[in-house]
Amino acid sequence: MAEPTIDDIRALVGPATPHFAFQIRARVRELVRDLPEEHPVRRYGEEQVALLERLGYASSKAEEGGRESQARIGWEKMPSSAPEYEPLPGRE
């Protein structure tokens, strides 16, 4: 297999959703595991692994807007309000 590139990682992570975040995280880890620790592609991959970890406990990958207010009409019917940048706490 050819040496992985940042574009390879972007192709995996770009369309990620919370539902598949942990599966994609495993693939990114596998893709970069044989690269030296200081390799820029490995460092980028590790950053994306961290993003996917947060996304796995989130309900959205939205990068704009804030958290939805619980005072909002219809809040009790909303399935979740945990964006990637502020996910729900992980299981212990």
Structural domain range at position 54: 6-64+72-77
In a domain, 86, yes or no: no
54 neighbors 85 (Cβ within 8 angstroms): yes
Q: Is residue 89 part of a domain?
A: no
In a domain, 34, yes or no: yes
Q: In which band, very low, low, confident or very high, does the pLDDT at 2 lie, cut at 50, 70 and 90?
A: confident
Report the pLDDT value the prediction gives residue 82, as an integer from 0 to 100. 67
88 part of a folded domain: no
Overall domain count for the chain: 1
CA distances (Å), origin 2, targets 31, 32, 34, 35: 10, 12, 12, 12
- Residues 16/49, Cβ–Cβ less than 8 Å: no
Q: What is the pLDDT of residues 46-73, one digit of tens each?
A: 999 999 999 888 877 666 666 666 676 7
Residues 6 or more apart whose CB falls under 8 angstroms from that of 52 comprise 13, 16, 21, 22, 24, 25, 28
| C-alpha of 29 from chain center | 13
Q: Residue 10 falls within a domain, yes or no?
A: yes
Q: Is residue 43 a part of any domain in this protein?
A: yes
**51 inside domain:** yes
Please report whether residue 92 resides in a domain. Answer: no
